[in-house]
Amino acid sequence: MCGSGVQPNVVVYSCLLRGYCRSGRWRDVGKVFEEMSRRGIEPDVIMFTGLIDDLCKEGRTGKAAKVKDMMVQRGLEPNVVTYNVLINSLCKEGSVREALALRKEMDDKGVAPDVVTYNTLIAGLSGVLEMDEAMGLLEEMIQGDTVVEPDVVTFNSIIHGLCKIGRMRQAVKVREMMAERGCMCNLVTFNYLIGGFLRVHKVKMAMNLMDELASSGLEPDSFTYSILINGFSKMWEVDRAEMFLRTMRQHGIKAELFHYIPLLAAMCQQGMMEQAMVLFNEMDKNCGLDAVAYSTMIHGACKSGDTKMVKQLIKDMLVEGLAPDAVTYSMLINMYAKLGDLEEAERVLKQMTASGFVPDVAVFDSLIKGYSAEGQINKVLKLIHEMRAKNVALDPKIISTIIRLPEQTPLLWSATTASVPHSHGPSILQSAPPSLTPVHHYHVALTSRAL
């Protein structure tokens, strides 16, 4: 380029620097800076901040931090925008502590945080449910040496975090603080508060907010209805959830899978399989079905023991090019084991492992119970050895199952006791029921003593 008489400018150098920074070629970055200096082009804070922003947007926060260090080495100090870019990227990736460390660095260097700095940190802390620290930052904004006026984004982040952990009284106080400072609630504020009250089963408070939302001139959106349908579905108030689904559609809002799934799950959990199938077909017609929709229906059919429906759903699911997940496979194995169809349970287990899923402790518990009930102790023994080979961690449920195994062979109990890790020894003794025979007590004691 230079050989042809065309001199590179800031734009060209910026492109080169971006490329080298992305690939981690830091020596080449240094060479570009040296060349720029020789040509009388000095990179400024804006140029460095642009580089940092590009890297952060690509998820390369570590490399962006190196560019900031390089900037300081060249005698330039990051400004509030530079820090905000880095803090935002760190918070997005969940590195809130590192983001707070940058906030302290700002103080040390005399860079005053602005509302964007605070909003980003508060949103980050609320995302990881560190609400006391988030509230501390809000207090600092209002009562600190330099007052930074919170905006609706600040308050919404705080309210959202408080609602997620059920601290509704505090969420209401924050809302009152908003009003005192002349900050109006928006639809997001109402959505968070409505969801929070439904989460703690305060239905009347949630409905009062719906009335207030309407009187303030706001219209419920897709997210509002999603919160209402989800909230009532989790309380198993299927009729009210269905009513809000109908209302939403009457207001011209298209129902999506995330609206339907909670209601479908509530119906399946309560054994309302006929209604669930009607809703399932409506979903298929209106927005199509995904793996979660099929899995939810399969779980309901398994729970009700409807093997015919289960087989049809699995068949339809595979035709659609959708694959069952590990939880669905576990549910199918449990159903067949309970029904005594161990051959089918084994077939599903083979499909599960062939699909790349590792059977968990619940799968082994179902199969051990099934084979034990059939008196197939060799199969039980094989499963216990398989658990050991796969390093499957035992939980209290399967420990209880193992304790209650029949004493048809010392070999079985030898394998069983060898499978139980040391940490479970005392808990087994404590959980052993009085009905155990003396020989059972002997084997249980052997478990805790030997390990």
pLDDT of residue 163: 97
Claim to verify: residue 99 and residue 117 sit in the same structural domain: no
Cβ-based neighbour number of residue 230 at 10 Å? 22
Q: What's the pLDDT tens digit per position in 34-76? A: 777 677 677 788 888 888 888 898 888 988 898 899 889 888 8
The predicted model gives 290-295 an average pLDDT of: 94
pLDDT of residue 417: 52
Claim to verify: residue 26 and residue 60 sit in the same structural domain: yes
* Cβ atoms of residues 220 and 213 within 8 Å: yes
pLDDT-above-90 percentage for the chain: 54
Does some domain include residue 96?
Answer: yes
pLDDT of residue 414: 53
| Residue 9 confidence (pLDDT) above 70 | no
Q: What's the pLDDT tens digit per position in 338-378? A: 888 889 998 998 988 888 888 888 888 888 888 888 888 88
- Taking the C-alpha atoms of residue 35 and residue 53, their distance in angstroms, rounded to an integer, is 23
Amino acid at position 347, single letter: R
Q: What's the pLDDT tens digit per position in 123-174? A: 999 999 999 999 999 999 999 778 899 999 999 999 999 999 999 999 999 9
- Lookup: tokens for 24: 């981690």
Does some domain include residue 395?
Answer: no
Last residue of a domain, one of 272, 288, 304: 288
Claim to verify: residue 10 and residue 59 sit in the same structural domain: yes
pLDDT of residue 444: 39
DSSP single-letter state for residue 405: S
Q: What's the pLDDT tens digit per position in 174-185? A: 999 999 999 999
Does some domain include residue 79?
Answer: yes
The CATH number of whichever domain residue 176 belongs to comes to: 1.25.40.10
| Residue 451 confidence (pLDDT) above 60 | no
- Helix runs in 287-432, H state only: 291-304, 307-319, 326-338, 342-354, 361-373, 377-389, 396-403, 410-419, 425-431
Claim to verify: residue 103 and residue 32 sit in the same structural domain: yes
Claim to verify: residue 18 and residue 102 sit in the same structural domain: yes
Does some domain include residue 71?
Answer: yes
Claim to verify: residue 100 and residue 126 sit in the same structural domain: no
pLDDT of residue 156: 97
120: number of CA atoms within 13 Å, CB side?
27
Residues 6+ apart with CB under 8 A from 22: 54, 55, 58, 60, 63
The predicted model gives 435-443 an average pLDDT of: 38
Q: Which residues of 92-119 are buried (b: 16+ CB within 10 A; e: fewer)?
A: beebbebbbebbeebeeeebebeebbbb
Claim to verify: residue 102 and residue 2 sit in the same structural domain: yes
Claim to verify: residue 194 and residue 279 sit in the same structural domain: no
Does some domain include residue 257?
Answer: yes
Does some domain include residue 239?
Answer: yes
pLDDT of residue 86: 96
Q: Is the pTM of this model over 0.75?
A: yes
DSSP single-letter state for residue 233: H
* Cβ atoms of residues 381 and 355 within 8 Å: no
Claim to verify: residue 89 and residue 160 sit in the same structural domain: no
Does some domain include residue 373?
Answer: no
Claim to verify: residue 198 and residue 174 sit in the same structural domain: yes
Number of domains into which the chain is organized: 3
Does some domain include residue 83?
Answer: yes
Claim to verify: residue 10 and residue 56 sit in the same structural domain: yes
Average pLDDT over all residues of the chain = 84
Q: Please state which of the ranges 162-171, 259-268, 306-315 shows the lowest mean pLDDT.
A: 306-315
Last residue of a domain, one of 167, 197, 219: 219
Q: What's the pLDDT tens digit per position in 197-227? A: 999 999 999 999 999 999 999 999 999 999 9
Last residue of a domain, one of 107, 127, 157: 107
Q: Print the domain residue range for 283.
A: 220-288
Claim to verify: residue 76 and residue 145 sit in the same structural domain: no
